[in-house]
Amino acid sequence: MLFNLFRKSAFPGLEEDKIVRAIQTAEAVTRAEIRVHIAKKSNGFDTLQLAIKTFEKLGMTKTLEKNGVLIFIIPNEKKFAIIGDSGIHENVKESFWEQVKEEMRDHFSRGNLTGAIIHGIQRAGEKLALHFPANNKNNPNELSDEISLG
């Protein structure tokens, strides 16, 4: 329980329960997997490179259909990235992700950390449902829905 208190105090305004519910709702209509990772700082490293390393560290490259999406955020530095595995890149154009990033940036600029993350999850879920619709017979939850920290 101390871990949860640490999360909330380290990132004021982060409503973890709402974010986890948004991930579960999005994943209910798609076979794809969505994760959120909150980093404290970049230590001078490139945000995209950190996101890629985190994607690998979280085991997101191991999904059956290569259909994981990571929303990677460094709130204290006001930086973030959205990355998807190879199965997603075959179906979703970069322009979609750029649009989602701009929409999320608008939420962030208003100080709405939770809203920005949920918006990104919802938009990703909508698009992923088109290319990886849920299958009632086989739709395992391959990755944790919990927010990871690093």
- Domain of 131, CATH number, reads 3.10.310.50
Look at residue 3 and tell me whether its pLDDT is greater than 70. no
Look at residue 72 and tell me whether its pLDDT is greater than 50. yes
3-state SS track over the chain = CHHHHHHHHHCCCCCHHHHHHHHHHHHCCECCEEEEEECCCCCCCCHHHHHHHHHHHCCHHHCCCCCEEEEEEEHHHCEEEEEECHHHHCCCCHHHHHHHHHHHHHHHHCCCHHHHHHHHHHHHHHHHHHHCECCCCCCCCCCCCCCEEC
pTM score, whole prediction: 0.89
Q: Which domain holds residue 85?
A: 2-149
What does the pLDDT look like over 21-63, one tens digit per residue?
999 999 999 999 999 999 999 999 999 999 999 999 999 999 9
Q: How many domains does the chain have?
A: 1
